[in-house]
Amino acid sequence: MHGKTVLITGGTGGIGKATAIGLARLGARVGIVGRDAARAETAARDIRSASGNDAVDVFAADLSSQAEVRRLAAQVLATYPRLDVLVNNVGGFWAHRHVTADGLEHTFALNHLASFLLTNLLIERLEASAPARVVTVSSGAQSMGRIDFDDLQGERDYSGQRAYNQSKLANVMFTYELARRLEGTGVTANVLHPGVTRTDFGAEDQARYFAWMSGMSRPFMKSPARGAATPIHLASSPEVEGVSGRYFANRTAKKSNTLSYDRGAAARLWQASADLVGLPASER
């Protein structure tokens, strides 16, 4: 990865931070995005120390806000003349319905729309840097998801688990549609399940049963370093050069939710997402 530049969202802890360490060890210049600037600076120092690579940059942005996503994209474009890999890692779980500054349901906005918008804003730079890669972190929960086009924002009936499952399926469908749109550009797009990993996932707003189950199962979960193995592989390995539009777990291509292969639904989700983030027709 020497000479390569990588941007990782949600890079201040857990899988994102472990992915940053792994790619920095391989010689990449790594930019991490975190909501809190001080925490991001601390994470960057840790990454430099653990990897022996000083080329670690910090970007602070709350990606649940579309204005912040657009500001981040502009800053990245001004900082990086080339961008070889974008790792869409940011995400979370909220037991109760929260609304973002844009009036959108928080889970859908952060877990799906943030990656959708950021990728679209950076895609020309990725194409200019080809061969390049877009790697999106989903979850095994995608297998239980369905896209409720009549209630994407959970306004009528909200369930934290259902919203999370939907957002993770959206990650997969977005990736497959993106891969189709990027055919012939030299930019690949893949999505992954990192495995159940010991992180602070869901800590901001956990359901009681979720906290209890997490505590019971924590000793059996993967370490963040092991959880980062698949995103590192997809971001760097020659084995997946040119491979696009696939879902991976344990560094192996797997079958995803049957619903994820519905091209009509994927195109509909793309259009709905573009409307929600205000992408002009020329950028869709």
CB 171 within 8 A of CB 134: no
Residue 105 DSSP label:
B
Active-site residue, 164 included: yes
Candidate list 164, 209, 247, 261, residue with the active-site label: 164
Identify the CA nearest to 166 among candidates 78, 272, 13. Answer: 272
- How many CB atoms are closer than 10 A to CB 262? 15
In the chain, where does DSSP find H-type helix? 14-25, 37-51, 66-79, 106-108, 114-128, 160-181, 208-217, 224-227, 229-236, 263-277
CB 67 within 8 A of CB 91: no
257: helix, strand or coil: coil
**CA distances to 131, 172, 215 from 15, in Å:** 24, 18, 18
Q: Give 46-98 as a DSSP string.
A: HHHHHHT---EEEEE--TTSHHHHHHHHHHHHHH-S---EEEE------SS--
CB 80 within 8 A of CB 142: no
**Residues that are catalytic:** 164
